[in-house]
Amino acid sequence: MPDEARRRIADRYELLEPLSHGGMGDVWRGFDAVLDRPVAVKLVRPQAVTSPQLAEEFEKRFRREARVTARIQHPGVPQVYDAVLDESYEQLFLVMELVDGVPLTAYAHPDERLPVSWAVAVAAQVATVLSYAHEVPVVHRDLKPSNILVARDGTVKVLDFGIAAILRTDVTKLTATGSPIGTYQYMAPEQVRGARVTPGTDLYALGCVLHELLCGRPVFTGDSEYQLMTQHIAATPTPLRELRAEVPAELEELVLDLLRKAPEARPVDVQAVYERLRPFLPSSADAPEDALGALPGGAGPAGAPDPTGVFRRPYAPRSRAGATAGEPTAPGEAGHAAQAPVPALTPAQREELREQIREVYDHCAALWDEDRFSQAAEVVGEMVEAAAQVLGSESRAVLALRRRRAFSRQLAGDHRAALPEFEALADAFARVSGPHNEATLDCRAQAARCRGELGRVTEALAGLEGVLESVRAVDGDVSENAVELRRDIGMLLLAQARPAEALHALEPLHEDLCLVYGPTDEMTADVAETLAVIRLDLNGPGMSES
């Protein structure tokens, strides 16, 4: 497909960058221009469509399967937002929730054994997801480590429900020329043979995944696709305890049961699998380190998310800001570090970079005009990273870009992300331009406003009052910055249920606004209305305005 055509799908979804490539299609990081949110867009290859008649049947199947998949209501299944089939039937797009996570393929290594509780917690979360899917009923058909992500908070996400069903063909037998849908290393015997696919097919794949998590290698490792497929049909899997002695015997038995050749010999359903996993899961009463080999906090590999957390602290609140390790930061956000030497640019390279930055500002302005502030923050953020590498994270150009990104986040209502950016920018501008520079004070003020939006009103008040003191010393009491600060301070006092102090702050502000901007000015009228409400609150409805 031409690059230009990839930029926009259905006049709504913009494709930004490829995230992964697989046998069934490519996944792109995209953006929903209507709802101003990031999305994942899967470009599916409908290889079964070879004629207009098949195209019509494929469209019907696609719509049906996409709707059925969207009925799986579980946090472990990324939401399906939209399904788009182009007029030529050559491209099929599934628009889904974008998950910030790492696939299990990153964690399964024969030389780095995962803690048993980490592996079991992942399998238990997958089992929970499958229980909701099988109830619909939806059979995944292609469960494998690359389709299972562990998100930052430890939540396990199962991807690509329905894709295998959408793309299924009648040519799936081992002796046929076509390829069966599924991945050979995790394919159940009945799937290899082209027999009926049932929830038991997913149980077999789950057994393959759990075996690999516990010992670091797949159940079977044939030299060819044909050999792998025949191994799944006829070969006996190696018991886990022969590969890793500390695996509990009951867990080894469960994996062997999941890998039974006959579907009816496997556990009766996924709920039964979950019950057999439960004894090896941590509970809310468990110490951070348990007898099954969990690291402190249930952690697995260094820096990996903790899938045991949902069992140790079920339905726990989100971690407080700054309490989660491993969060990504923009250049300069982690405090003032020594600046790495930046490469020298030729005049032509410098002009090219300036032009790129100008284009980013233009793109950002266009997105702001459409109220697409979240996407604007992403667009500017990409330029921040590129420019910081060659100019330094505290060059004036990069600081200006970071400031635009922070404002975009703030306008999008993402005050939690905007706050640390404004704080870091205030420190950076203070170092570069001085503590009383306009940009320094503005970033301090915006950081305080973010705190107010996050409910940290006392801190917000202290921050705004400190900025106001500096602004008054330079620009007086009725500059544009000063009157906005005075109004915000009054509103925060009111939010703290301190109406008398709010009245004391806003009455002189209203007098100044009347003199400088006039009684019909928008801010003047807003402050007058607020004062009327405060007076009613303090004195009762019988009190007339002075």
**Rg (Cα) of the chain, in Å, rounded?**
29
- Measured in whole angstroms, the distance separating CA 416 from the mean position of its chain's CA atoms is 14
Region 124-130 average pLDDT? 95
* Predicted confidence (pLDDT) at residue 170 exceeds the cutoff of 60: no
Q: Which two tokens stand for residue 278?
A: 């439960």
Annotated catalytic residue: which of 3, 26, 142, 306? 142
Nearest to 304 by CA among 96, 439, 156: 156
- What tens digit of pLDDT does each residue of 294-343 get? 444 445 676 788 898 888 877 666 655 544 433 333 333 434 444 555 56
Closest by CA position to 27, among listed 157, 124, 125: 157
**Looking at per-residue confidence, does 83 or 367 come out higher?**
367
Q: Is the pLDDT of residue 399 over 90?
A: yes
Q: What's the distance, CA 414 to chain centroid?
A: 14
Q: What is the pLDDT of residue 253?
A: 98
Name the average pLDDT for the chain. Answer: 83
d(CA 229, CA 461): 67
Letter string b/e over residues 325-364, b meaning 16 or more CB atoms within 10 A of that residue's CB:
eeeeebbbbeeeeeeeeeeeeeeeeeeebeeebeebbeeb
First vs last Cα of the chain: how many Å apart?
A: 70
pLDDT digits (tens, 9 = 90+) for 425-437: 999 999 988 999 9
- Structure confidence at residue 483 as a pLDDT band (50, 70, 90): very high
- Please work out, in degrees rounded to the nearest 5, the angle formed at the alpha carbon of residue 145 by the alpha carbons of 144 and 148: 95
The architecture (CATH level 2) of 101-284+303-312 comes to Orthogonal Bundle (1.10)
Cα four-point dihedral sign 514, 517, 518, 521: negative
pTM: 0.65
Judge whether 479 and 490 are in contact, CB under 8 Å.
no
Q: Which two tokens stand for residue 360?
A: 């980013």
pLDDT value at residue 69: 73
Task: Examine the residue annotation and report whether 369 is marked as an active-site residue of this protein.
Answer: no
Contacting residues for 337 by C-beta, under 8 A, at least 6 apart: none
CB 108 within 8 A of CB 145: yes
Place of tokens 């077999």: 204
> What pLDDT score was predicted for residue 266?
96
Distance CA 38, CA 77 (A): 17
Is the pLDDT at 261 greater than 90? The verdict is yes
Question: Minimal CA–CA distance to 509: which of 491, 533, 535?
Answer: 491
Residue 373: what are its φ and ψ, rounded to 5°? -75, -35
Cβ neighbour number for residue 226 with a 10 Å cutoff: 12
We find that the CATH architecture of domain 347-454 is Alpha Horseshoe (1.25)
Q: Hey, what CATH class is 4-97 in? A: alpha beta
Q: What is the mean pLDDT of residues 282-298?
A: 53
* Every domain of the chain and the residues it spans: 4-97, 101-284+303-312, 347-454
| Residues 178-202, mean pLDDT to the nearest whole number | 81
Q: Residue 115 in contact with residue 292, Cβ under 8 Å?
A: yes
Q: In this predicted model, what pLDDT tens digit does every residue of 348-379 receive, in sequence order?
A: 888 899 999 999 999 999 999 988 999 999 99
